[in-house]
Amino acid sequence: MPRMNPDPLAALQRQIVNCERCPRLRSYCERVAVEKKRAHRDEVYWGRPVAGFGDPSARLLIVGLAPAAHGANRTGRVFTGDSSGHFLMRALHRAGFANIPSSTHAADGLKLAGVYIAAAVRCAPPDNKPLPSEIEACLPFLAAELDLLSSVAVIVVLGRIAFDATLRVLANRGVSLRPRPAFGHGAVHALGPGLPTLVASYHPSRQNTNTGRLTEAMFDSIFTTALHIQGSRPTV
Ligand code: SF4
């Protein structure tokens, strides 16, 4: 009799970390990990694909774009070690999903409750722009996470690329997307009985947060909406 894997999410995370499907992204991440940024020259960069992170019982799934070259590609944890991660974690802390309002490194004591953070692409892309073929190659990981995170009621999608990737995953699972959900900050799309509700948000990139395109109040409203839809508050 075959042995059941006791922790399929951990097995998936190992599979992601060891993936080599996209040669352009793999060589870019490895090169960045060797060349480094001056501010982090004494650190050992992760340089591998970055798996999802959070609560396996999450009712909220957050889908980002991809690791940042000197953020998650350095620290090995999604949304960790850059300004986007801090912006996100401050919001998750205010909403009660995170025990601390920062995300600095993989051993910083951050704990998430009720939320799991994933991404459309798991390797840092040059200029934060993955190729369509690379997004396509990475989609099965998001699909597999969605399968394993069986309590998810709300998906907050950060940015248009993540939004389109999430729609692809849902369409591949046979979810009807007519009319096609439109992207816009704060847009809410109920997909039907028994299916998660999509909530779209601008990505908390430095470009968006420094210009005021995405403010903390705008970001807080996304998680207020998510909490309202899921109907329960996390306890971290
Ligand atoms: S982007 Fe995804 S599919 Fe491509 S190498 Fe990285 S983990 Fe693998």
Residue found under tokens 């990737």: 165
67 CB near ligand 1 (under 6 Å): no
Mean pLDDT score of the chain: 96
Tell me the per-residue pLDDT of 16-47, one tens digit each, with 9 for 90 and over. 999 999 999 999 999 999 999 999 999 999 99
25 CB near ligand 1 (under 6 Å): yes
Q: What average pLDDT does this structure show over 172-178?
A: 92
Q: What pLDDT, on the 0 to 100 scale, is given for residue 232?
A: 79
Tell me the per-residue pLDDT of 104-154, one tens digit each, with 9 for 90 and over. 999 999 999 999 999 999 999 999 999 999 999 999 999 999 999 999 999
Q: φ and ψ at 44, to 5 degrees? A: -90, 115
DSSP states of 15-39: HHHT----HHHHHHHHHHHHH--GG
- 236, 111 contact by CB (below 8 A): yes
Cα-based angle 101, 185, 211 (whole degrees, multiple of 5): 65
Residue 201 parent element (H or E):
strand 197-201
Best probe residue, ligand 1, of 12, 18, 20, 22 (max atoms within 8 Å of C-beta): 22
- Classify residue 5 by its DSSP letter: P
Tell me the per-residue pLDDT of 152-167, one tens digit each, with 9 for 90 and over. 999 999 999 999 999 9
Supply the residue whose CA is at minimum distance from atom 4 of ligand 1.
22
16 CB near ligand 1 (under 6 Å): yes
120 CB near ligand 1 (under 6 Å): no
Is it the case that residue 4 has pLDDT exceeding 60? no
